[in-house]
Amino acid sequence: MAKVHYNAELFDLLKDLTSINTNVVFEKEDNGNIVVRRADSESTIAYQLKAPKDYFDFDEDQIAFYNYPEFYQYFKAFGQPEMSIDEKKVRLVEENSKTEYLLSNPESIPSGPKSINFNNPDVRINLSAAELDDLLKMIGLINSKKAQIFGNGEGITIKVFNNLHDNTFEKTFKVENLSNLTEDIDFVMFSDTFRNLPPKRDYVIEIKAQGFIKISLVDEKVNLDIFTGRVKN
């Protein structure tokens, strides 16, 4: 088995993304960097995560986990285990303890989106970790299923509500107008999109007036983009 260098931050980040899809397939790009591309079963939300090769420096072209949360529990049972991988399993060793976890066949897992067309956004807003935390608290209190995104080139409001619109919460954000937008933006998305974001982190949200959104993690080394769009009211 070949010893593998890794950064546990990558495994933690992917655990937070398993609310979108519990299947995880690590792929190597031509430059050796790591990419994971997944979407939910209904293709309403998708993500692409790219990390430097030293975050998970395995030899194989692909490494697949059918039930990533289960593997993560094995991994977290140790502190900072030594990791080795062959074609069929992962071995974790720490002091006098050892465990092995069977890998899945990448071909048995539906592939994620290879590319997502998101060009020329109209506006950009910043969502801080504290603002995300406040938003998640209100989504939970209201039992919100959907969120309305509305505004213009000067400000964008995120409004969360339940199906009856009895209780609502909204917050307005300053906007960076990227396309000299003059028309109004107004569409509805699933509020679970915010629940699917790894918490306690800062994000940049780019919006297209037609009703498409890209949410990007603010991180110097790891590139995480989450994509979603409008739904019926």
Set out the domains of the chain in order of their start, with CATH numbers: 2-108 (3.70.10.10), 123-229 (3.10.150.10)
Contact 213, 124 (CB under 8 A): no
C-alpha to C-alpha distances, 83 to 6, 86, 87, 99, 210, nearest whole angstrom: 8, 10, 14, 10, 46
- CB count, 10 Å around CB of 19? 15
The overall pTM is greater than 0.75: yes
How many CA atoms within 13 Å lie on the side-chain side of 195?
16
Asked whether the predicted pLDDT for residue 165 surpasses 70, the reply is no
Closest to 66 (Cα-Cα) out of 39, 106, 19: 106
Share of the chain above pLDDT 90, in %: 86
Q: Give the model confidence (pLDDT) of 176-197 as tens digits.
A: 999 999 999 999 999 999 999 9
Distance from C-alpha of 233 to C-alpha of 230, rounded to nearest angstrom: 9
